[in-house]
Structure 1
Amino acid sequence: MNKISYKTYLNDRLKQVDFHGQLTHPLYVQVTYERKTIFFKSYYFELFSKSRYALELPDGSVKGVDMEQIIEKENEVIRFVIDKLKDGFSLEAFKKIYAYFSKDLCDVTEFDFITYLYLFFDDKKMPHMAELIKWGTLHVVTYDLIMDFKKILKEALYDELIEQAFEKAPPYLQLYSFMMHTKEWPMLCLTAMEWDNMETVRFFKEYVELHYPKLKSTTLIGQVNNWPKYRRKAF
């Protein structure tokens, strides 16, 4: 196989953007193979630019993900994809496989889960709660909102919400809970690359059997495997 070279870099040809209170040029990826080069915006730069990855400190300053951590994450998935393709490498195949394995499964399952929450409370004749979910999840982490629901909702209603989600929604709640159990802030993501590892799947199975004993773990795993079919756009 011919030599493959790659690098991540701050694209100073583009305007600076706000990254958790600091101006920076967007992070890009460059891959070269057989004298041809492709350039594209870093998926993880976009992902970790989201407000859920920013922590407001008591002095009013904002702490977010370090650029070095994002670059490290990019390099990890780039190396993974190159190794995955091996002798079948091409720039077209790389871009396609990168787009698949770089995805954060919590991020891609969130929208359909929010839609489920909206419809659940709307069906319960609680339209204002439904609207709160619709607009509130633009600013707060959906998982954190659910944890507050657990504190304030009647137990029967909360249990019904979780049980119906098992039938009608992506396994966002279980994925995010598992991710929080295995990761440290601010690198709170669970990628398709990590899910491709059978050890990750095994740990997930053990985790949900312990923390969600009423739900069938093999069904949850099947729902996670179905992640490419979930919608990813926001309201």
Structure 2
Amino acid sequence: MSAEKTLEILEQFDFESRTLSVPELAAKLQQPQSSVYRHMRVLKEKGYIVESSPGLYSLGYVFLKLAKIVKMDIDLPVVSQVAMRELTRSIGESSILLVPSNLQAVCLAAVPSGHPIKVSSEQGNIVPIYGGASSKALLAFMGDQIVKDLYLSGVVKKHTNQTILDLDVMLDHLEEIRQKGYSYSESEIDDGVISYGMPIFDSDKKLVASLSVAGPKERMERKEKNDIVQAIKTAVEKIENQL
């Protein structure tokens, strides 16, 4: 029971209650102040609680270390699976999880819709980072210098008539993506495929991946753009809440 009471004390701290006094904790827990004091003394000795000002306590820096350990063990494809399955079920098209890798992108996971579609972004595939909604949702948030380096490297090549080969056109396009918060692609890498994508950031606002929905043009054009964008946004928020 002692360990349970100690955990209950820690659970009282949240974003709205970052500092608490012993009387406040005792009232929240409906416990005697003397009992709360005993548990607080142990927590303070172990570094789980710090006295931020006289009589007021907040969570200690031990939790930063623990949070880093948790973040290191997060498996992005596993964390994303539920949200991706819900996204595919909601829109009826394939969902794709992409991560940046040097001047390319890697498809980390994909949830197929069950409908026939041929796209480059299949699980495990390395794909161009300059074409397709999944890739552009990454490139838009990697910095203009990386975009310039990419185009100067000579790796950018024509896949279809819609592939963006001009650096200035791409820079303007990526700025538009940043403004809107999502990317759009039609036949840039795979002919006849339309896709929408959004970036995924971790709790430190660091770009970690992108999530997109892709399907054949004839099916995608029958769907409401706003519905697709909102569904991707909902899925991204679910994933980001776990990062």
**Is TM more than 0.5 here?**
no
Write 1 or 2 for the structure with the bigger share of helix: 1
State the TM-score, normalized to the length of structure 1.
Answer: 0.23
Which structure has the higher relative contact order (CA within 8 Å, separation 6+)? 1
Write 1 or 2 for the structure with the bigger share of strand: 2
